[in-house]
Amino acid sequence: MLRLTIAADLRPVHRAMIALGAKQVPFANALALNSLARGVAALETESLIDFFEKATPFTKRAFRIEGATKAKPIAVVAAKDRTNDKGGQAAYLAPYVEGGSRFLGTKRAMLVPIEQRTNQYGNLPKSTLARLKAKPNVFIGKVQTKKGLLSGVWQRPAGASRSKAQAGRGALKLLIAFENTTPVRKRFDFYGKARNYVRRNAAHEYTAAMRKALATARR
């Protein structure tokens, strides 16, 4: 699971924290941590959009925040996960961060469009496979070709029976290829970007939080 914990670090502003008084320190802590968490989430989202040439709305909504409170001075930025077997953004993004093969969810193979329209993100619309399966001259299966045994969605020549099409396989048209998942080579530095952001902005956020805490403190 892609998860980064941001804990309180009072060292950059220790003296100022003492000046606040113990009563306002937990409030300032929570303010600073939550502001840092929002900044990390925004940075990671922006970086994802640059990383993926055509980021989908699903990808752009990848990160969630668990806010800090006065009683729990810890904020968390994490990729969203799901409890069902379809996985979530965390499972989808994990190979790009930690390495490994692309996540397919409940699918057994990647669907690679050969002669099919894709949406603006370069993906097959969800209705495409169902639409093709409903056609009488289309079937799903494995066909022996010059390149070897290929699995996918195939179209028979117009007017040909199933037996004729299989007898003359050269006339079959591959519409969608089924391919095994492949290793991810690109790496997305989720943890490095987050830690660098916190390191660069911690002092500023704590200073701003203390000022707000002082302004709202009861006299």
DSSP line for 18-48: HHH-TTTHHHHHHHHHHHHHHHHHHHHHHHH
Distance CA 14, CA 28 (A): 12
Q: What 8-state DSSP symbol labels residue 167? A: H
**pLDDT-based confidence at 108, cuts 50/70/90?**
low
Angle between helices 25-51 and 190-216 (to 10 degrees): 150
> What number is the average pLDDT over the span 70-92?
79
Q: What 8-state DSSP symbol labels residue 103? A: P
**pLDDT-based confidence at 84, cuts 50/70/90?**
very low
Q: What is the pTM of this model?
A: 0.68
Distance CA 39, CA 152 (A): 44
> Tens digits of per-residue pLDDT, 163-192?
444 444 458 888 777 776 666 767 889 999
